[in-house]
Structure 1
Amino acid sequence: MTPSSPVWNPADHRDPDDDQLRLECGVFGVYGVAEASAVAALGLHALQHRGQEACGIAAFDGERFYTERHVGRVGDAFTGQDLVERLPGKCAIGHTRYSTAGGSAFRNVQPMFADLEAGGVALAHNGNLTNFHTLRDRLVSDGAIFQSTSDSEVILHLLARSRKARFVDRFIDAISQIEGGYALIALTNKKLIGVRDPLGIRPLVLGDLAGKPVLASETCALDMIGARFVRDIQHGEMVIIDDTGIESLRPFPAVRARPCVFELVYFARPDSVVDGRSVYDVRKKMGARLAIESGPDADVVVPVPDSGVPAAIGYSQQSGVPFEMGIIRNHYVGRTFIQPTQGVRELGVRMKHSPNRAVIEGKRVVLIDDSIVRGTTSRKIVRMVREAGAREVHLRSASPPIKWPDFYGIDMPERDKLLAATQSLEEMARFLEVDSLGFLSVEGLYEALGVGARDPVNPQFTDHYFTGDYPTRLTDRELAQADADGGRQLSFLVSA
């Protein structure tokens, strides 16, 4: 194994006022393909939006495992003609990661590797385990030594301690003990294994590259490498890929799927298809529904780029108000820019977004964003649009108000930091300094998703950030609350 040395910790340079939602990981795996590490690097390029602060690849050449882990983006880390020499073999898995604030950026970078009794195994994981701390405390008390604060390492320890004879049975034994939302990919000396959590909260798809199987978080990664989409890995499904083909197992009790709706709202790339739905089409329908529910008199519809663009197109088409690129996004903001003072941070939004004065000046503007979290960035953008001469600014969110935190892989503030959880609509409008404010309703979101009304007993999606209806037990959270109520505070690490 050949880990790289960390030279920069993104968490140390993050704007404290940044309220952009981030998904923590993307995973990719390929089996039996020449120059597998190069293919994995291309796949990770397509998944860069799922995690932009660290990445890694593990490859197997039939005899040895090779790994590289880097802080930074895929294009900076996995370049050069010698990539396939550094990471040789026909099997590889990769991971791209967003490191949560406060954690060590490098020691949690994946894929993680361990030499077990049955041989080496590399593991890449997307999502969060809601019983991570409970399992970790138990393992530590039993003598386990951890090298990271990542829940992925918990899974490796569970694998190592299983007494099952076959590796596949050990894997099932390990994942049967974890809770939460996740998509896992593991590479052994004989197999590539993929598994999706029982509710299908985090996505995972199967592709075919010239007859060779591929696993990825999104279909856009298949498109990047020229692979054919085969199907979604089903909720609670485990696929085992080896030289004999692909075997599908169902190791969990059968339950109804509840995929994360935020994949469609924000995280997935617009050109991906998630659980049979075109992300681009869904976002346009969300915008159209928003126009029906909350359409003020206006002269121009302006998206907050890039994530607000499809919804703004749908809003414009439904309302008849012209669509214009009134805000231009700079895609070349470097990671080394330092914002040492609050005054400079206030100007920092202009590094990413610049007003197109010719479109905005003198107009009644409807700003369309995908969501509003803390509202700090939204307020900066509103001020920027007003300074560019807008006569009125009406802000519309193409998703419902975010009122509850997430524990399944989205880096989201606690409830007291969420704008919609602490203020009324009128209070939010005053804080954001807009002439009016509107959100897509939960019912409108479900209509845009094409499933009709939300089933209040068995919701079709994971949507707790809007409704407070969490789909699984929050074991760590419940135990922490119980300890806090008993007068003993727990200091929790942030996992990724």
Structure 2
Amino acid sequence: MEKNIHEDCGVAMIRLLKPLEYYQEKYGTWMYALNKLYLMMEKQHNRGQEGAGMASVKLDSEPGNEYMFRERAEGKNAVTEIFANVHKHYKDYSQEQLSDVSFAKTKLPFAGDLYMGHLRYSTTGKSGLSYVHPFLRRNNWKAKNLCMCGNFNMTNIEDVFEILTEQGQCPRIYSDTNILLELMGHRLDREVERNFVAAQKLGLEKRAITNYIEENVQMSNVLKTTMQHFDGGYVICGLTGSGEMFSIRDPWAIRPAFYYKNDEIVVLASERPVLQTTFDLECDDIQELKPGQALIVNKSGECSLQQILEPKQNAACSFERIYFSRGSDRDIYKERETLGRQLTDAVLKAVDYDTEHTVLSYIPNTAEVAFYGLVHGFKEQIDKKKVEQIAALGSNASPEEVYHIIHQDVRSEKVAWKDIKLRTFITEGNSRNDLASHVYDVTYECIKPYQDSLVIIDDSIVRGTTLKESILRILDRLHPKKIVVVSSAPQIRFPDYYGIDMPHPEEFCVFRAVIELIRERGQESLLREVYENCKKELAKPKGEPIFNAVRAVYKPFTVDEINKKIVEMLRPEGMTTPVELVFQSVEGLHKAIPNHPGDWYFTGNYPTPGGMRLVNAAFVNYYEREHLNAGKA
């Protein structure tokens, strides 16, 4: 898979349930949570290398003292940078002072009770420190301070923007993050005011009113009145200045979140093995946040799970499992292994069942587990073949014949190596293209030239750029009899709008191949028909069901026809080695990953109205760029 395809973000949260003195005594440092947050973020580095941020809240701070802290940085080393910056605050203090919990609580920044971390990959193309989470909304009332981060992409931001402006607000920035912060902040203000009125009715005054508010804020009220407006995939996390901590998952379960609680901590992360490794937990110790559910910890440390939104049809993202999530997760490892194993029959057919002259390999690194599955599948087939051959020899078989049969085995090699990373200062087109062809290197003389077929498995094939510019070129240097490129995922046909940066259909090699087939067969009228149908869907009133009209462009063609056209398009000039593509089937995907049925990348079955609307809009934009603006309509 092209390594510049990114998943949106990763999140991490820690709430201490005991005083800092407890952690100083038991773990030797009050920085227990700060250190654990660092580990949680580093373990999720795969989810964000464009920026990172963290925040902390102190409970029971006195007026005139800061109680909410934030640190952010850009770049792939951002996690190291933000924690280094935090520790710079401590460099002028003695070890005795740093070990004094009372001193830390009153004098040191980030010596808090609540912590939140975020790792960012942009799906909007926007960069700069102002776009790095967490986002902060300040107020002189502790309970009205809101710090928020998330792994999300909202598909109906214009609708929510309209809601805000109708309320009289004037958002400064038009983005889903800023608008979510402002809407949630507005609802938090209302919740604080509700408690203010309740406190007055009880006859409370001044500081007693403040204490009452902070002890009675119901984040469930805030979340219910905020999140009902949003369409998209999300895990939203937040802290308030008064000590509330929360995380809510979208009602379709598109984006993942896992949590753990004991009598010392409540923790949450985007990935389960992060919690296992950081806190030395077993897999079954950890729970997954359910669709539409929120994990809420109030100021006093009481933890609850509350159903904020009604669960929708399960659309947990299968692409998370195939590519983005850590393969060290127990279930993800099994799923990826199964994806590879299930491709055995199709690959055997592609190499004419000649296992003796077939070498299996993979594209590093995320396809490695699927590769093991394919190897296991080949081994099973070879073992069956051995049994049949030995049985056919009968009782008069010679030792030499038996020896030859039992030593048949799967041939596998590490053929491809990720060799260099392109540097951004190389901008000139020809130079950059030449460098791209050397991103990967090969293990020379690992196959028999012109005799062995080479099977190389990847987790997915998106744009096809890496195949064309690098992989096929370098594999051709080995002079295999045939190259079989295998994808453990099905054909990616449709954009994503829930947090992965694949928003335009023309980026996909599968879509481009279908367009070429349509043009070759003189079926351009189909594109016009789809364009008109997309506009009809977009013209429907709000609330009326909307359908994906783009699916019609794929109907005239078989998977095999599309595969052959992709090979034609991606084959480098001058390459003569035969190439065949093998994709996972959609049925195979669901068999391997039964609990994550979200498959809109492959089928166009978007789980939300916003996704359906955006895919139609994307095709309209594509068609108008390619046809109307070019005078081809």
TM-score bracket, normalised by the shorter chain, equals 0.7 to 0.9
Counterparts of 2:8 and 2:83, CA distance in 1? 23
Q: Percent identity?
A: 26
Aligned to 2:435: 348
Equivalent residues in 2 for 1:159-178 (5 A)? 159-162=184-187, 163-164=190-191, 165=194, 166-168=217-219, 169-178=221-230
Instruction: Give the CA deviation at 1:40.
Output: 1.6
Instruction: List aligned pairs for 1:425-444, cutoff 5 A.
Output: 425-433=563-571, 435-444=579-588
Do 1:360 and 1:385's aligned partners in 2 also have CA atoms closer than 8 Å?
no
Output the CA distance in 2 between the equivalents of 1:136 and 1:480.
21
CA distance, structure 2, for counterparts of residue 311 and residue 97 of structure 1? 27
Q: Give the total of aligned pairs.
A: 456
Is 2:121 the counterpart of 1:98? yes
SS at match of 1:252: coil
1:236 Cα deviation after fit: 1.1
Question: Is the helix fraction higher in 1 or 2?
Answer: 2
Query: 4+ residue runs of structure 1 moved beyond 6 angstroms?
Result: none
Distance 1:328 1:481, change over 3 A: closer
**C-alpha separation between the residues in 1 aligned to 2:477 and 2:335?**
33
Deviation, 1:319, is 1.6
State the partner residue of 1:367: 456
Higher RCO (Cα < 8 Å, 6 or more apart): 1
- Label 1:361 to 1:207 Cα distance change in 2 as closer, same or farther (>3 A): farther
Which residue number in structure 2 is paired with residue 131 of structure 1?
Answer: 156
- Offset at residue 396 of structure 1 (A): 0.7
**Cα pair distance change 1:319/1:151, threshold 3 Å:** same
Pairing partner for 1:68 from 63, 66, 71 = 71
Residues 477 and 383 of structure 1: is their aligned pair in 2 closer, same or farther, counting only changes over 3 Å? same
2:52 alignment partner, SS class:
strand
> Partners of 1:308 and 1:324 in 2: how far apart?
14
Unaligned runs of 5+ in 2: 17-22, 24-29, 62-66, 91-107, 195-216, 352-356, 380-409, 514-561, 572-577, 626-633
- Please show how residues 397-408 of structure 1 align to structure 2 within 5 Å: 397-408=487-498
The one-letter code matched in structure 1 to 2:435 is G
Q: TM-score, length-normalised on structure 1?
A: 0.84
1:18–1:371 distance in 2 versus 1, CA, 3 Å: closer
Amino acid aligned to 2:308: P
Q: Which has the larger radius of gyration?
A: 2
Matches within 5 A, 1:27-42: 27-32=11-16, 34-35=30-31, 36-42=33-39
* CA displacement 1:383-407 (0-9 Å, x = unmatched): 1111244342110110100000000
1:49 match: secondary structure: helix
CA distance in 2, matches of 1:99, 1:471: 22
Contact 2:239 2:245 (C-alpha < 8 Å) held by counterparts: yes
Contact 2:233 2:255 in 1 (8 A): yes
Partner of 1:53: 50
Q: CA 1:358/1:224 → structure 2, altered by over 3 Å: closer, same or farther?
A: farther
1:146-185 matches, within 5 Å, as 146=171, 148-162=173-187, 163-164=190-191, 165=194, 166-168=217-219, 169-185=221-237
Q: Cα RMSD between the aligned structures?
A: 2.8
Q: CA deviation at 1:481?
A: 4.2
User: What is the aligned partner in structure 1 of residue 359 from structure 2?
Assistant: 300
Note the 1:207-286 alignment, pairs <5 A.
207-208=260-261, 211-228=264-281, 229-242=285-298, 243-273=300-330, 278-286=331-339
Give 2:487's aligned amino acid: S
Mark the CA change 1:218 to 1:478 in structure 2 (over 3 Å): closer, same or farther. Answer: closer
Is the 1:47–1:220 Cα contact (8 Å) retained in structure 2? no
State the alpha-carbon separation in 2 of the partners of residues 432 and 259 from structure 1: 32
Deviation at 1:131, TM superposition (A): 0.9
1:93-117 deviation per Cα after TM superposition (whole angstroms, max 9, x unaligned): 0100112353133221101111256
Q: 2:41 aligns with which of 29, 40, 44?
A: 44
AA partner of residue 260 (structure 2): G
- Per-residue CA deviations over 1:261-312 (Å, capped at 9, x if unaligned) read 1111111010125xxxx11111010001012234322521111110111111
Q: AA paired with 2:492?
A: I
CA distance 1:98–1:348, shift in 2 (3 Å): farther
- The within-5 A match list for 1:73-92 is 73=76, 74-80=78-84, 81-82=87-88, 87-92=110-115
Which position in structure 1 is the counterpart of 2:413? Answer: 324
- Which letter maps to 2:176? D
**Correspondent of 2:341 among 288, 296, 301:** 288
Q: Tell me, in whole angstroms, the C-alpha distance in 2 between the residues paired with 1:333 and 1:478.
A: 33
Q: Deviations over 1:63-99 (max 9, x none)?
A: 3111011111344423434477553312110100112
Measured in 1, the distance between the counterparts of 2:176 and 2:280 equals 30
- SS of residue paired to 1:345: helix
Instruction: For residue 125 of structure 1, give the secondary structure of its aligned residue in structure 2.
Output: strand
Query: Could you tell me how far apart the structure 2 residues matched to 1:346 and 1:187 are?
Result: 46
- More strand, by proportion: 1
Matched residue of 1:393: which SS? strand
SS in 1 for 2:433: helix
CA distance in structure 2 between the partners assigned to 1:355 and 1:101 by the alignment: 35
**Residues in 2 aligned to 1:121 and 1:464: alpha-carbon distance in whole angstroms:** 34
Q: Aligned partners of 1:289, 1:479: CA distance in 2, in Å?
A: 30
Once the two structures are superposed, the pairs formed by residues 439-458 of structure 1 within 5 Å of their partners are: 439-450=583-594
Contact 1:159 1:174 in 2 (8 A): yes
Question: How many Å separate the matches in 2 of 1:465 and 1:475?
Answer: 11
The correspondence of residues 414-493 of structure 1 with structure 2, limited to 5 A, is 414-423=504-513, 424-433=562-571, 435-450=579-594, 461-474=597-610, 477=613, 481=617
- 1:443 corresponds to which letter in structure 2? E
Q: Taking structure 2 as the reference length, what is the TM-score of the superposition?
A: 0.67
Which residue identity lines up with residue 262 of structure 1 in the other structure? F
Give the aligned partner of residue 25 of structure 1.
Answer: 9
Is the CA contact (8 Å cut-off) linking 2:447 and 2:480 kept in structure 1? yes
CA distance in 1 between counterparts of 2:374 and 2:169 reads 54
- SS of 2:137's partner is strand
The answer on whether the counterparts of 1:66 and 1:88 sit within 8 Å (CA) in structure 2 is no
> Which structure 1 residue ranges, 5 or more long, are not aligned?
1-16, 452-459, 490-496
Confirm or deny: 8 A CA contact 2:57 2:243 kept in the other structure.
Answer: no
Residue by residue over 1:419-441, the C-alpha shift from the partner in whole angstroms, topping out at 9 and shown as x without a partner, is 11231211101223251111000
Q: Output the CA distance in 2 between the equivalents of 1:99 and 1:141.
A: 29
Can you list the C-alpha shifts for 1:51-70, whole angstroms capped at 9, x where unaligned?
Answer: 11111001112231110111
**Residues 333-382 of structure 1: per-residue CA shift (max 9 Å, x gap):** 48x54222223322434665321224256242111001111101122211
Structure 2 vs 1, CA of residues 322 and 101 (structure 1 numbering), >3 Å: closer, same or farther?
A: farther
